[in-house]
């Protein structure tokens, strides 16, 4: 109970225990009309056990009902399950750092042929408004499809002087549906091998664009981090630089095929990914792959995604500045 008193204080729930019936109303007043929280909470305001359970839900190890059942122990003292769900789920309004109509960039929606994959893949293309030739970066989404956060990441890269393409791996099932819950369900229906081929086709299409300088990089987050690792092995010398954010590591046998330089961002509280790092590190060293690895202490899986409480501003900004510097050094 003492722990929860501290958490309640951080959440701004200062009403006395005798007035607990009003605390849900306090939380409701912190939401927009559509139910999203207007103020992003911090993961540190909750027990780590909650985020470990949320991570299992996000990666399909448990369903939403099981997550909410496990989270119910935290929905006490007036903090209802519904209010807790509103706190943890994404609010994509927070992700828009570079609007589509930003005068510094040009954006368009494109469709890329993918004959070895699902036939084609759609994507969000962003490039600087000024200039003719640019280094190119593929941006790969998490396991929910091409949501507004990942689109914005592509535009952030354009502001930094890159031409970036963020493909939608859900193209073959109708595309990102505008809702992460539905996106996660659709994701299960796409053949993983074909989806990987779709991303590879998108990468080669981007590299071959007339505005491309021929130097290709990839950055991915969560599932996209795993794809960044995979493409590094599959594409060989076609790919110059890869930046996986908390992505699952490839099989040791595939590491020998990596020719790209790697910049790897991991979170110390991300038990699933951290567990696989020692073997990956050993394989990278054994195969003399050029890599730099950063472990962000006290950060959770998903720390760069600025739409949920797992966002860690300090870690995210540092990792992003390192990413931009890495791409500028390798691709320009």
The answer on 111 and 192 residing in a single domain is: yes
The answer on 162 and 27 residing in a single domain is: no
Using 50, 70 and 90 to split pLDDT, how confident is the model at 75?
A: low
Question: Tens of pLDDT along 197-214?
Answer: 999 999 999 999 999 999
Query: What is the Cα–Cα distance from 119 to 2, expressed in whole angstroms?
Result: 56
The answer on 147 and 231 residing in a single domain is: yes
Using 50, 70 and 90 to split pLDDT, how confident is the model at 48?
A: confident
Residue, of 20 and 310, whose pLDDT is higher: 310
Query: What is the Cα–Cα distance from 191 to 90, expressed in whole angstroms?
Result: 26
Give the pLDDT confidence score for residue 1 in this predicted structure: 35
Give the pLDDT confidence score for residue 76 in this predicted structure: 57
The answer on 207 and 144 residing in a single domain is: yes
The mean pLDDT value for 142-153 works out to: 96
Number of domains in the chain: 2
Listed residues 89, 110, 137: the one ending a domain: 89
Query: What is the Cα–Cα distance from 164 to 123, expressed in whole angstroms?
Result: 10
pTM for the model: 0.84
Using 50, 70 and 90 to split pLDDT, how confident is the model at 182?
A: very high
Q: The CATH number of the domain where 159 resides is what?
A: 3.40.50.1820
The answer on 311 and 172 residing in a single domain is: yes
Listed residues 50, 70, 89: the one ending a domain: 89
Listed residues 89, 121, 148: the one ending a domain: 89
Using 50, 70 and 90 to split pLDDT, how confident is the model at 173?
A: very high
The answer on 251 and 213 residing in a single domain is: yes
The mean pLDDT value for 225-250 works out to: 97
The mean pLDDT value for 100-123 works out to: 98
Residue recorded with tokens 């070895």: 116
Contacting residues for 314 by C-beta, under 8 A, at least 6 apart: none
The answer on 261 and 116 residing in a single domain is: yes
The answer on 245 and 124 residing in a single domain is: yes
The mean pLDDT value for 87-97 works out to: 87
Give the pLDDT confidence score for residue 20 in this predicted structure: 31
Q: Which residue, among 260, 162, 142, 143, has the nearest Cα to 209 in the 3D structure?
A: 162
Using 50, 70 and 90 to split pLDDT, how confident is the model at 83?
A: confident
Is the pLDDT confidence value at 186 over 80?
Answer: yes
Residue recorded with tokens 């991915």: 220
What domain range includes position 83? 2-89
Using 50, 70 and 90 to split pLDDT, how confident is the model at 15?
A: very low
The answer on 286 and 164 residing in a single domain is: yes
What is the percent of the chain with per-residue pLDDT over 70, rounded to a whole number? 87
Q: What's the chain's average pLDDT?
A: 87
Give the pLDDT confidence score for residue 69 in this predicted structure: 83
The answer on 67 and 11 residing in a single domain is: yes
The answer on 100 and 59 residing in a single domain is: no
The answer on 101 and 85 residing in a single domain is: no
């Amino acid at each position: 109970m003492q722990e929860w008193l501290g958490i309640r204080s951080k959440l701004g729930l200062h009403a006395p225990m005798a007035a607990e019936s009003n605390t849900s109303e306090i939380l409701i007043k912190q939401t927009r009309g559509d139910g999203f929280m207007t103020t992003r909470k911090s993961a540190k305001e909750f027990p780590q056990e909650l985020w470990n359970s949320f991570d299992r839900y996000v990666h399909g190890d448990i369903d939403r009902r099981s997550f909410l059942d496990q989270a119910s122990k935290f929905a006490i003292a007036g903090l209802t399950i519904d209010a807790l769900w509103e706190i943890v789920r994404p609010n994509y309004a927070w992700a828009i750092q570079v609007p589509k109509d930003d005068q510094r960039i040009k954006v368009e929606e494109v469709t890329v042929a993918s004959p070895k994959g699902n036939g084609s893949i759609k994507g969000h293309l962003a490039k600087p408004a000024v200039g003719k030739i640019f280094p190119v970066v593929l941006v790969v989404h998490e396991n929910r499809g091409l949501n507004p956060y990942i689109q914005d990441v592509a535009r952030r890269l354009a502001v930094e002087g890159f031409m970036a393409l963020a493909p939608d791996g859900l193209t073959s099932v109708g595309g990102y549906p505008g809702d992460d819950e539905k996106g996660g369900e659709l994701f299960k229906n796409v053949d993983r091998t074909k989806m990987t081929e779709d991303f590879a086709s998108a990468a080669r299409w981007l590299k071959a664009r007339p505005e491309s300088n021929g130097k290709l990089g990839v950055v991915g987050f969560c599932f996209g981090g795993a794809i960044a690792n995979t493409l590094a092995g599959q594409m060989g010398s076609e790919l110059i630089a890869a930046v996986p954010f908390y992505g699952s590591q490839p099989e040791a046998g595939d590491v020998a095929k990596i020719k790209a330089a790697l910049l790897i961002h991991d979170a110390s509280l991300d038990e699933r990914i951290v567990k696989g790092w020692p073997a990956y590190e050993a394989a990278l060293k054994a195969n003399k792959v050029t890599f730099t690895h950063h472990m962000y202490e006290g950060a959770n899986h998903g720390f760069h995604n600025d739409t949920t409480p797992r966002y860690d501003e300090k870690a995210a900004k540092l990792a992003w500045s390192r990413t931009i510097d890495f791409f500028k050094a390798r691709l320009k």
